[in-house]
C-alpha cells in the first residue's frame, strides 16, 4: 500500500467528487439514488469509515454520501473552523449543495457530536438523526466532570491533545502507528485488521490532517469557559425535535455505554437506544451487518418508538 495519502480515493461501488459548502471544498464519496443519508465520520478516520454503509444503504434505496470532514482526507484544511458550530454549518451546507432540503444524518464519534449540533442549530436540515458511539454534547461534559476516573481513557487522550505541536508529532511518528494503536485500544477483540489499520494511518499522514483533527479536541475543552463555548452550551439545551436512533458498542472503552445512554433526556422526539453486543467504539466497522440491520430497520419504521 502506498503511504502518505495516495489512498484517500479508494475505489469501490461509489463515486468521488468535490462539493463546495460554507466557503470550503469537501471531498465526498457517494452511492445510490433516493432519500439522502449523510454519513459523518469520527477520529481518527475519514470517509472510508462508511464503506460498508455506502453499499448497504444504496442497495436499500438511499443516496448515501460520506464526506471527509473539514481538515480530513481530501477536504480543505483551513487554519480555523474546528468548532462544532462551524462543523455543523459545513454539514448543513453540504446537504443543500447536494441538492436536498434535508437528510437523514448519521454521525460517529466527532461526527456524532456534529450530528447532535446540526439537529439543534439546523433542525430543518435534519430529517432523522442517528448517532453512533457518542453522547449528547452536554451529557458528555456532565459525565466527564462527574466521574473523570471512570472515563480515564476518553479524558486522557483528550487532555493529552491539548498540548501544542507534540501530540501531532506523536500521532505521525513511525508512519502514524499511534492511529493503529488507538483503533485497537478502542475497539472490541479482533479489529482492526492490518489493511484497515494501514488505511487509517495513511490517511492521517496527509499534510495538515493531524493538526486539523486535533483542533476539534482542543476547541471542545478550551471553549468550555469562553464566550463561544458558553453560547454553544446554552444553545444545546434546546431539546432535539427529530426522531433519533442512538447506537453504541457494549464493549466501548473510549466512551462507556452508560455515559451515552442518558442522552435520551435531551430528545423530545421518538428516541431509540440500541446496544450492540461484542463490539467497541466502531460498531459500523466492527459488526457492519448488525449495525446496518438496526439502521435500516429504523429508517423503514414510519413511527419509531420512544
Tens of pLDDT along 95-122?
A: 999 999 999 999 999 999 999 999 999 9
Q: Give φ, ψ of 37 to 5 degrees.
A: -120, 115
Q: Give the whole-number percent of the chain exceeding pLDDT 70.
A: 94
Beta-carbon contacts of 83 under 8 Å, excluding residues fewer than 6 positions away, are: 219, 223, 228, 232
Cell 443519508 appears where?
A: 37
- Provide the pLDDT for residue 21: 98
> Range with the lowest mean pLDDT among 42-56, 112-126, 142-156?
142-156
Alpha-carbon distance of 184 to 198, in angstroms, equals 12
123-129 average pLDDT score: 98
pLDDT in tens, 155-199: 667 777 888 889 999 999 999 999 999 999 999 999 999 999 999
Mean pLDDT value across the chain: 93
Rounded to an integer, the average pLDDT of 30-59 is: 98
Instruction: Please report which helix (H) or strand (E) contains residue 52, including its range.
Output: helix 51-59
22 contact partners, CB below 8 Å, separation of at least 6? 86, 89, 90, 92, 93
Chain segment 203-255, per-residue pLDDT in tens: 999 999 999 999 999 999 899 889 999 999 999 999 999 999 999 999 999 99
Looking at residue 159, its pLDDT comes to: 78
| The architecture CATH gives domain 15-300 | 3-Layer(aba) Sandwich (3.40)
The phi, psi pair for 233, rounded to 5°, reads: -60, -40
Residues 220, 159 contacting (CB under 8 angstroms): no
Q: Calculate what percentage of the chain has a pLDDT beyond 90.
A: 87
* Dist CA 143 CA 166 (whole Å): 28
pTM: 0.95
| Domain boundaries, given as residue ranges, for the chain | 15-300
Amino acid at each position: 500500500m502506498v503511504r502518505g495519502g495516495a489512498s484517500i480515493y479508494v475505489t469501490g461501488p461509489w463515486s468521488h467528487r468535490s462539493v463546495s459548502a460554507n466557503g470550503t471544498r469537501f471531498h465526498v464519496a457517494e452511492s445510490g439514488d433516493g432519500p439522502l443519508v449523510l454519513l459523518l465520520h469520527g477520529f481518527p478516520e475519514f470517509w472510508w469509515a462508511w464503506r460498508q454503509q455506502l453499499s448497504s444503504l444504496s442497495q436499500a434505496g438511499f443516496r448515501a454520501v460520506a464526506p471527509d470532514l473539514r481538515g480530513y482526507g481530501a477536504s480543505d484544511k483551513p487554519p480555523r473552523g474546528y468548532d462544532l458550530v462551524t462543523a455543523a454549518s459545513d454539514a448543513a451546507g453540504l446537504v443543500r449543495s447536494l441538492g436536498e432540503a434535508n437528510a437523514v444524518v448519521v454521525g460517529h464519534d466527532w461526527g456524532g457530536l456534529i450530528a447532535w449540533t446540526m439537529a439543534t442549530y439546523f433542525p430543518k436540515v435534519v430529517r432523522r438523526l442517528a448517532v453512533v458511539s457518542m453522547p449528547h454534547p452536554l451529557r458528555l461534559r456532565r459525565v466527564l466532570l462527574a466521574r473523570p476516573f471512570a472515563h480515564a481513557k476518553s479524558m486522557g487522550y483528550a487532555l493529552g491533545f491539548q498540548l501544542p505541536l507534540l501530540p501531532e508529532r506523536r500521532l505521525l511518528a513511525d508512519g502514524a502507528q499511534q492511529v493503529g494503536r488507538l483503533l485497537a485500544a478502542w475497539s472490541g477483540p479482533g479489529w482492526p485488521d492490518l489493511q484497515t489499520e494501514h488505511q487509517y494511518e495513511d490517511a492521517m499522514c496527509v499534510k495538515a490532517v493531524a493538526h486539523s483533527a486535533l483542533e476539534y479536541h482542543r476547541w471542545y475543552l478550551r471553549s468550555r469557559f469562553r464566550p463561544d463555548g458558553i453560547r454553544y452550551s446554552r444553545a444545546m439545551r434546546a431539546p432535539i425535535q427529530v426522531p433519533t436512533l442512538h447506537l453504541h458498542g457494549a464493549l466501548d472503552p473510549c466512551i462507556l455505554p452508560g455515559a451515552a445512554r442518558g442522552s435520551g433526556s435531551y430528545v423530545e422526539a421518538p428516541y431509540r437506544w440500541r446496544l450492540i453486543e461484542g463490539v467497541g467504539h466502531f460498531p459500523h466497522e466492527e459488526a457492519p451487518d448488525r449495525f446496518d440491520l438496526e439502521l435500516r430497520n429504523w429508517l423503514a419504521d414510519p413511527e419509531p418508538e420512544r
